[in-house]
Homo-oligomer: A and B are copies of this chain.
Amino acid sequence: MATTLDLARSAQLFHALSDETRLAILEMLRDGERCVCELQDALDAAQSRLSFHLRVLKEAGLVEDRREGRWSYYRITPEALRDVHDLAVALQPRRTHAAAQRSAHSGGCCP
Protein backbone atom coordinates (compact mmCIF):
# COMPACT_ATOMS: atom_id res chain seq x y z
CA MET A 1 0.00 0.00 0.00
CA ALA A 2 1.68 3.19 -1.19
CA THR A 3 0.96 5.67 1.58
CA THR A 4 3.32 8.50 0.76
CA LEU A 5 3.68 10.28 -2.53
CA ASP A 6 6.95 11.28 -4.13
CA LEU A 7 5.94 14.92 -4.09
CA ALA A 8 8.71 16.25 -6.31
CA ARG A 9 8.24 13.64 -8.99
CA SER A 10 4.46 13.94 -8.89
CA ALA A 11 4.59 17.71 -9.16
CA GLN A 12 6.94 17.42 -12.13
CA LEU A 13 4.61 15.03 -13.93
CA PHE A 14 1.53 17.14 -13.31
CA HIS A 15 3.35 20.31 -14.26
CA ALA A 16 4.31 18.84 -17.60
CA LEU A 17 0.63 18.13 -18.18
CA SER A 18 -0.55 21.55 -17.07
CA ASP A 19 -0.19 23.35 -20.39
CA GLU A 20 -2.64 23.32 -23.29
CA THR A 21 0.03 23.14 -25.96
CA ARG A 22 1.65 20.15 -24.30
CA LEU A 23 -1.69 18.39 -23.90
CA ALA A 24 -2.40 19.00 -27.58
CA ILE A 25 0.96 17.48 -28.44
CA LEU A 26 0.23 14.38 -26.38
CA GLU A 27 -3.18 14.11 -27.94
CA MET A 28 -1.54 14.00 -31.36
CA LEU A 29 1.02 11.46 -30.24
CA ARG A 30 -1.72 9.08 -29.14
CA ASP A 31 -1.98 7.94 -32.76
CA GLY A 32 1.70 7.09 -33.00
CA GLU A 33 4.99 8.90 -33.27
CA ARG A 34 5.27 12.19 -35.08
CA CYS A 35 8.15 14.33 -36.20
CA VAL A 36 8.42 17.90 -35.00
CA CYS A 37 7.49 19.36 -38.36
CA GLU A 38 4.21 17.45 -38.38
CA LEU A 39 3.34 18.77 -34.93
CA GLN A 40 4.33 22.21 -36.09
CA ASP A 41 1.92 22.06 -39.02
CA ALA A 42 -0.92 20.53 -37.07
CA LEU A 43 -0.67 22.79 -34.03
CA ASP A 44 0.33 25.90 -35.93
CA ALA A 45 3.06 26.64 -33.41
CA ALA A 46 6.44 28.27 -33.89
CA GLN A 47 9.30 25.84 -34.12
CA SER A 48 11.15 27.00 -31.03
CA ARG A 49 7.94 27.00 -29.06
CA LEU A 50 7.31 23.38 -29.93
CA SER A 51 10.88 22.47 -29.17
CA PHE A 52 10.53 24.03 -25.74
CA HIS A 53 7.38 22.10 -24.88
CA LEU A 54 8.78 18.84 -26.21
CA ARG A 55 11.72 19.28 -23.90
CA VAL A 56 9.45 19.78 -20.89
CA LEU A 57 7.55 16.62 -21.79
CA LYS A 58 10.76 14.72 -22.32
CA GLU A 59 12.33 15.82 -19.05
CA ALA A 60 9.20 14.67 -17.25
CA GLY A 61 9.55 11.29 -18.98
CA LEU A 62 6.23 11.62 -20.75
CA VAL A 63 7.70 11.30 -24.24
CA GLU A 64 10.75 9.77 -25.82
CA ASP A 65 12.42 10.81 -29.03
CA ARG A 66 14.32 9.20 -31.82
CA ARG A 67 16.45 10.90 -34.39
CA GLU A 68 16.41 9.79 -37.99
CA GLY A 69 18.47 11.86 -40.35
CA ARG A 70 17.44 15.41 -39.79
CA TRP A 71 14.09 14.53 -38.31
CA SER A 72 13.22 13.96 -34.69
CA TYR A 73 10.32 11.68 -33.95
CA TYR A 74 8.54 11.86 -30.63
CA ARG A 75 6.29 9.27 -29.06
CA ILE A 76 4.43 8.83 -25.78
CA THR A 77 6.02 6.88 -22.93
CA PRO A 78 3.04 4.80 -21.77
CA GLU A 79 4.69 4.01 -18.41
CA ALA A 80 4.69 7.68 -17.44
CA LEU A 81 1.00 7.99 -18.17
CA ARG A 82 0.44 4.92 -16.09
CA ASP A 83 2.21 6.72 -13.25
CA VAL A 84 -0.19 9.61 -13.65
CA HIS A 85 -3.05 7.19 -13.55
CA ASP A 86 -1.67 5.61 -10.38
CA LEU A 87 -1.23 9.00 -8.76
CA ALA A 88 -4.86 9.88 -9.37
CA VAL A 89 -5.82 6.65 -7.66
CA ALA A 90 -3.38 7.25 -4.81
CA LEU A 91 -4.96 10.62 -4.10
CA GLN A 92 -8.49 9.29 -3.81
CA PRO A 93 -9.88 9.49 -0.27
CA ARG A 94 -9.27 6.37 1.75
CA ARG A 95 -12.20 4.13 2.45
CA THR A 96 -11.60 3.59 6.12
CA HIS A 97 -13.42 3.08 9.41
CA ALA A 98 -15.43 6.12 10.36
CA ALA A 99 -13.69 6.11 13.72
CA ALA A 100 -10.33 6.73 12.08
CA GLN A 101 -11.61 9.48 9.83
CA ARG A 102 -10.66 12.33 12.12
CA SER A 103 -7.21 11.89 13.51
CA ALA A 104 -6.21 13.12 16.93
CA HIS A 105 -5.09 16.69 16.42
CA SER A 106 -2.83 17.49 19.34
CA GLY A 107 -2.53 21.18 18.52
CA GLY A 108 -6.08 21.69 19.67
CA CYS A 109 -6.97 24.77 17.65
CA CYS A 110 -10.37 23.43 16.60
CA PRO A 111 -13.02 21.23 18.16
Instruction: Choose from B11, B81, B103 the contact partner of A88 (Cβ within 8 Å).
Output: B81
Q: A41-B109, A85-B89, A88-B85 are in contact. Are A94 and B23 (CB under 8 A)?
A: no
- Partner of A18 from the list B14, B89, B103 (CB cut-off 8 Å) is B14
Interface size class of A (residues with CB under 8 A): 35 or more
Copies in the complex: 2
| Minimal beta-carbon separation of A83 from chain B (angstroms) | 9
Identify the A interface with B (CB < 8 A).
4-5, 7-8, 10-11, 14-15, 17-20, 23-24, 26-27, 29-33, 35, 37-38, 41, 71, 75-76, 78, 81-82, 84-85, 87-89, 91-94, 96, 100-103, 105, 107, 109-111
